[in-house]
Structure 1
């Protein structure tokens, strides 16, 4: 085999570092097509900042355990996640880490298991998961990886099996991103693909690049609708988004978390809740919600427990 691949913790660390670089290079274009769930023009920035925090967290970590490394990245990313997209990226990384615990190198089966675990965590974190977003890209990657493992004739622990899975994922995520334009009415009207979906494609493309030791292929992104540098700005004529985004971290038992989720669902939308780690008999939950006004959401949070790292951000259209 002509490709030289890396499957240990250096590959995962390189993935996180490359993720930061890739998202930094593409953040302006991701921001420019961000109109779902709200047209606030910050998907690229949110993904980049969350990825940077995740990568920084493992830069001083000395371990050969793939799961430990990736879990540290996911927890750090979740504690300071930005927006819907950043939160889901952190949730995905944390989910991806779970089957990798105790393993020192990637295999095709571990990649497939990690992607499936990331899919489950990301989809379950949302009260109302919507296809045509980064969730669809994660699902397509997980399905492609599972199909590749099932059909492979390569030795399961071989590097050839890893390459097969990564190639299958690469093809699947591109198709999933292209399909987002037809899955969401707002994207179809604007004739663009989903910003979060492109961001997740970047994340998974960087995984392939880091393992195979190849540069990221920027040419894959040029044909995506709305992503060309000469494409018209999609915010022209759009009204400013009303409401605020409320985020925090809070320690709750599972039943308390379910009760809080129900209250936030009644108050707003884009509710994301996912456990970031244990806190005694409870769990630390990262919470995200869009609401018309912050007061009732903040009251619900304080009524449930002692929220920390609270942020309240206006939802408004990107100003160019």
Structure 2
């Protein structure tokens, strides 16, 4: 397998498709893990619906450039966010997209900046952040 040194629009689309596929595979497991803020068993479903909205948006409009895919990622996640987990996911994706969209190609340094923006957006989206949730995963990814 070749090492990817930069991320372009096509690669970002592939990442989103891979994330959707992983969510579909593990959706029921995520639903069973759902205990905060209410144990209603819909975290996996809400995240999957949110990412499906992203893919619908990425498939339309100006998505030939990294900026276009990032814009579609941000808008699709905002418009399609479902439940608490979907809203938090949308803020993570919007944070990443806000940074990636500023560059024609993305390297590891820019990915790091995107993860930091994602963490900030996700924590701002929650009035009382609780560790042991998707917020923790996002924070640990951003902080390395």
Identify whether the pair has TM-score above 0.5, normalized to the shorter chain. Answer: yes
Contact 1:31/1:45 (8 A) holds in 2? yes
Q: TM-score, normalised by structure 2?
A: 0.90
Cα RMSD, aligned residues only:
1.6
Within 5 Å, give how 1:98-137 maps onto structure 2: 98-137=98-137
1:125-171 Cα deviation digits (max 9, x unpaired): 11111122111111111111xxxxxxxxxxxxxxxxxxxxxxxxxxx
Equivalent residue runs for 1:65-104 within 5 Å: 65-104=65-104
- 1:49-60 equivalence runs, <5 A: 49-60=49-60
Given that residues 73 and 97 in structure 2 are in contact (C-alpha distance below 8 angstroms), is that contact kept between their aligned partners in structure 1? no
State the TM-score, normalizing by the size of structure 1.
0.43
Using the TM superposition, give the Cα deviation of residue 63 of structure 1 relative to its aligned residue in structure 2, in angstroms: 3.9
Q: Which runs of 4 or more aligned residues in structure 1 lie more than 4 Å from their structure 2 counterparts after TM superposition?
A: none
* Equivalent pair of 1:34/1:43 in contact (CA under 8 Å): yes
CA offsets per residue over residues 82-108 of structure 1, 9 Å max, x none? 111111111111111112233121111
Superposition pairs for residues 157-236 of structure 1, below 5 Å?
A: none
Which of these two proteins has the greater Rg computed from alpha carbons? 1
TM-aligned CA distance change 1:96 to 1:67, over 3 Å: farther
Contact 1:8–1:64 (8 Å) recurs in 2: no
1:258-308 residue CA offsets vs partner (Å, 9 max, x unmatched): xxxxxxxxxxxxxxxxxxxxxxxxxxxxxxxxxxxxxxxxxxxxxxxxxxx
**Partners of 1:20 and 1:125 in 2: CA distance:** 22
Structure 2: how far apart are the matches of 1:109 and 1:64?
23
* Structure in which a larger fraction of residues adopt strand: 1
Structure (1 or 2) with the greater helix fraction: 2
Tell me the CA shift for residue 54 of structure 1.
0.5
How many residues matched?
143
Shift in CA distance, 81/125, structure 1 to aligned 2, threshold 3 Å = same
- 1-side partners of 2:138 and 2:68: how far apart? 21
Q: Which runs of 5+ in 2 are unaligned?
A: none
Counterpart Cα distance in 1 of 2:115 and 2:69: 16
Who is 1:13 aligned against?
13
Displacement of 1:64: 4.7
Q: Structure 1, unaligned stretches of length 5 or more?
A: 145-320
Query: Does the aligned pair in 2 maintain the 1:71–1:93 contact within 8 Å?
Result: no
